Amino acid sequence: MLGGDLSAVVALAERVHPDLPEDSAVFEDRLRLYPRGCLVLGDGAHSPIAGYAVGHPWLKGAPPKLDSVLGVLPEPADCFYIHDVVIAPEARGAGHSRVVVDQLLELAASYPSATLVSVYGTVPFWSRFGFRDAGETLPPGALGAYGADARFMQRPGRK
C-alpha cells in the first residue's frame, strides 16, 4: 500500500464495512506506523484495487478501538494484530484472501500470537488459519463497536 492507494482503500472499506466506518486517518496512521503490514490487491481491470489488508504489532489483550488513530505502536509489542482483510465482492473466490492472510501471518511469525476481531460471521474463515475464539480474555463490552456478531480470535505464533 502506498499513500496514493488510500482513497481507494477508504472507498472499498466504506463499501464492504458500511456498519463499521473508519476515517481515512486510521488507514493513514497504520500505513505510517507499519507499512509492511499494509497491503493492496490490484485487479488491473475495474478499479485501482480489488482488496486490502492491514496488520501491525500490538499488545496481547483488547484490540485497538474501532476507528482509532494509534499515533505510536507499543514497544515492545507481544502480538500481531490483523486489523482488516477485505476483498471486493467481485474479486472473491479466486484465492486472494489466502495469499493475503499468509503474508500477514509471515509478519506475525516473530510474535508469540496473532489476534483479530472477526466480523460478519467470518469465524469459520479465520478458523481455517488456526484462529480460535479468545473472547473470554477480554473485559465485557470490549467489542461493542464491532457489532453483535464480533468475536475476538487468537492463534499461537510460529516461534
Residue 94 lies in a domain: yes
Share above pLDDT 70 across residues of the chain, in percent, rounded to a whole number: 96
Question: What pLDDT, in 10s, does the model give residues 76-94?
Answer: 999 999 999 999 999 988 8
CATH for 98: 3.40.630.30
| 153 belongs to a structural domain | no
Residue 68 lies in a domain: yes
pLDDT of residue 141: 87
Residue 102, domain member (yes or no): yes
Task: Give 3's DSSP letter.
Answer: G
The tally of domains found in the chain comes to 1
- pLDDT bracket for residue 129 (50, 70, 90): very high
Range of the domain at 51: 3-116
Structure pTM?
0.93
Average pLDDT, the chain: 92
Query: Which residue, 49, 55, 31, is CA-closest to 96?
Result: 49
Confidence of residue 45 (pLDDT cuts 50, 70, 90): low
Confirm whether 152 is domain-assigned.
no
How many Cβ atoms from other residues are within 10 Å of residue 18's Cβ? 8
Q: Three-class SS of residue 141?
A: coil
- pLDDT for res 47: 58
